Amino acid sequence: MDSNTSQPLTEDQIHALVDGQLAAGELAALQARLAQDPDAQASVLKWQQQRDALRGLHQHVLDEPVPSVLRSAASQTAASQQELNQWWRWGGMAAGVMLAFGVGWFSHTAWQGDSPFRSPAAGLAKARAERDFVRQASFAHVVYSPETRHPVEVTAAEQEHLVQWLSKRVGKPLKVPNLASQGYELMGGRLLPGEAGARAQFMFQNTAGTRITLYLGALDTVPGGANSRETGFHFSTDGPIPSFYWIDQGFGYALAGPVPRDALMKLAEAVYRQL
């Protein structure tokens, strides 16, 4: 008898049996060992029951079609990544040309904080950080704004607590803009993860039920570099929902919502004036 057949099955092997992630030959070998291992047989049965119970609990979700907005977002993600990869390739070529023709002068000026020149790599990093930020704001809006029962973690009734909590987590004193004159009331907010730390989302709604979200948080920055400077208003459709965004001293703000561009810009300007 092969010594391997007498050894107890490991947890990884039991998981593989339950999940059906085995080739035919490997499956037959493990099943032969399973027949000699009563403890493993009990584990397989228990885990299969747990799996079936979980599937039954969420079967209605598994059977639902993927929402069109998420399909569109996935397509945009793939296209954006391909475009970004090409962008980085061309950026690397440009950096190589600059280094080849001006390495001595460039080393003296390009990395000075007060120089008008920026390295191509720094410019590309800045653009990538901004693009990622605004896309994350757009996706966060799409995920949470349709919620009926739990659109926010902390409601507007606890606004003081909400602002203190989110300010502490993002590492910057925050203010909630008052958009009542624009027809929007604060619903509340929530804490979200970000690449450079925690981020916050405030949600507003008008009497027609239209919701807009203000997403804010730190971006990955280089001290004294391009990312730390201010960025003016930009309109973006790079995501499932349009948004206006701006960057100020390494901190990003993005207002997203399913409203016309002019209306969204007026709302963004109102937010900017108050923050």
For residues 164-189, average pLDDT = 96
Helix H or strand E encompassing 125: helix 120-144
The alpha carbons of the chain give a radius of gyration, in whole angstroms, of: 26
User: CB-hemisphere CA count at 13 Å for 230?
Assistant: 4
The confidence band for 174, taking pLDDT boundaries of 50, 70 and 90, is very high
Q: Which own/partner pairs from 18-23 qualify as long-range (CB within 8 Å, at least 24 positions apart)? A: 18/44, 18/47, 18/48, 18/51
Q: How many CB atoms lie within 10 A of CB 143?
A: 16
Is pLDDT larger for residue 240 or for residue 78?
A: 240
In the predicted model, what is the mean pLDDT of residues 140-151?
92
Q: Are 214 and 221 in contact (CB under 8 A)?
A: no
- Range from 3-12, 178-187, 205-214 carrying the lowest mean pLDDT: 3-12
Give the C-alpha separation, 55 to 237, whole Å. Answer: 36
- If you average pLDDT over residues 89-104, what whole number do you get? 46
Give the mean model confidence (pLDDT) for residues 153-159.
95
Residue of 35 and 88 predicted with greater confidence: 35
Token readout for 241 is: 């929902």
Cα dihedral 123, 129, 130, 132 in deg (nearest 10): 140
* Higher local confidence (pLDDT), 232 or 176: 176
Architecture of domain 126-274: 2-Layer Sandwich (3.30)
Q: What is the mean pLDDT of residues 139-159?
A: 93
